[in-house]
Structure 1
């Protein structure tokens, strides 16, 4: 199957990517020049395959617009292993650097505008540019965090729980991407997903006002990180949002299907999981310190909440991440 044709990336696309990279870590002028010189762009149509399963992945891609997914065949059935949208990097992990075949197909869910850099250029720059090594480390850390989330999605309880978890951790995906691909990612039949989605249609975002209120609540948790406030309460969060406590409680119960502290602890635990996933983080901070920084005021409350959300203890979760990295590395 022919690979989509590349062309030199426009200066606007180059500047956009360099701006994002520079926000992650200040990069040298030399690295900026190298990126500008070697960055290419691809226009990929919906359902077009970028990398075939058991083929070679020659690029590290960055999604400017659209959505890509990874798929693998098991028992003659195509299984979606991940989905990525704008402002995310995509490449083959099993076939990283193009030295081994990819165990996953990479294809377009939507029409995509991509920019990419060839693996040969990356390997050369790794030897000379420290800032690129640091940036790649950040990207790999994010990959393992996302991989852990994907693993968790298919492990947690019933199809209903997987649906609720997905809608909370991937807002907007359910309305945007094909349900058959989401169903495959969540390890359920499309009919089951459609049925569950209909059951919750009356509960999730009944109108534009409700949607905007829910987005405002999530923004407080994600961007403002109010969950770190040890004194947070239904009243204080409602006051911050300029809601009544009754309205906030109703939204949490009916839209998010969580009690207030369960809702807050969900974001605290996700924050802690992200910190644990950073290589070497536990050399500098104990798990209890991370819990304290995330807003937990007692050790027992933290451990109970972590077990409730993740299904295992923080120590076991940390060990599972180490095991996942070792297994991935052994497959490279």
Structure 2
């Protein structure tokens, strides 16, 4: 797992070998089974999470039992509940594995120390945050102004590999549409 992570960092950040070793040394490997939970709503997010392989989802469940998926995190991406992590407050979301996943975890104090010690890691982290903000903004705009068909088309274009990995109910929960509507859209596309 660590070799894959080190290769990822080498490909995306300008870090020395010493920095790569130290960042990897502080990582805690974990294997998460399908539907295994890494963060439960109400708990405080205490880790940065890097997905080596597998697929995670960040979601909330309303009082009436409806699930709303905020994001999917596939291999070679990072995830966490930023607000809970930064403010040390109870999380409003859960993070769970859609499929069996291998991840690396960094405790907040360790990762904060790494950011201070390695400016290149801090720059890389800031770039990831910026990209996440841009992606979130585009998603919000699509959710606010798009028809269900446009939302689905955007999802297919943005995440083509997810269609085979996700149950339809999760795609519908991500798009904010009913499973019935999603099924209708997919049927209409197949007829074309």
TM-score after normalising by structure 2: 0.91
Counterpart of 2:11? 23
- Of the three residues 41, 46, 65, the one matched with 1:53 is 41
Q: How does 1:78-89 map to 2 (within 5 A)?
A: 78-89=67-78
Hey, what's the Cα distance between the residues in 1 that align with 2:166 and 2:149? Answer: 19
Q: Decide whether aligned partners of structure 1 residues 174 and 36 sit closer, same or farther in structure 2, where only a CA change above 3 A counts.
A: closer
Q: Decide whether aligned partners of structure 1 residues 32 and 172 sit closer, same or farther in structure 2, where only a CA change above 3 A counts.
A: closer
TM-score after normalising by structure 1: 0.54
Q: How does 1:73-222 map to 2 (within 5 A)?
A: 73-76=61-64, 77-97=66-86, 99-203=88-192
* 1:177 match: secondary structure: coil
Counterpart of 1:300? none
Q: Decide whether aligned partners of structure 1 residues 98 and 42 sit closer, same or farther in structure 2, where only a CA change above 3 A counts.
A: farther
Hey, what's the Cα distance between the residues in 1 that align with 2:19 and 2:191? Answer: 51
- Contact 2:83/2:91 (<8 A) preserved: yes
- Contact 1:45/1:111 (<8 A) preserved: yes
- Contact 1:97/1:123 (<8 A) preserved: no
Residue 119 of structure 1: CA displacement? 1.4
Q: Decide whether aligned partners of structure 1 residues 175 and 152 sit closer, same or farther in structure 2, where only a CA change above 3 A counts.
A: farther
- Identify which of structures 1 and 2 has the higher relative contact order when contacts are C-alpha pairs closer than 8 Å and 6+ apart: 2
- Contact 2:23/2:114 (<8 A) preserved: no
- Of the three residues 4, 17, 20, the one matched with 1:32 is 20
Hey, what's the Cα distance between the residues in 2 that align with 1:142 and 1:17? Answer: 20
Which structure is larger by alpha-carbon Rg, 1 or 2? 1
Hey, what's the Cα distance between the residues in 2 that align with 1:152 and 1:49? Answer: 29
Bigger proportion of residues as strand: 2
Aligned length: 191
Gap regions ≥5 residues in structure 1: 1-12, 204-332
Residue 16 of structure 1: CA displacement? 1.8
Residue 63 of structure 1: CA displacement? 1.2
- Contact 1:72/1:80 (<8 A) preserved: yes
Find out whether 1:63 has 2:51 as its counterpart: yes
Hey, what's the Cα distance between the residues in 1 that align with 2:83 and 2:168? Answer: 26
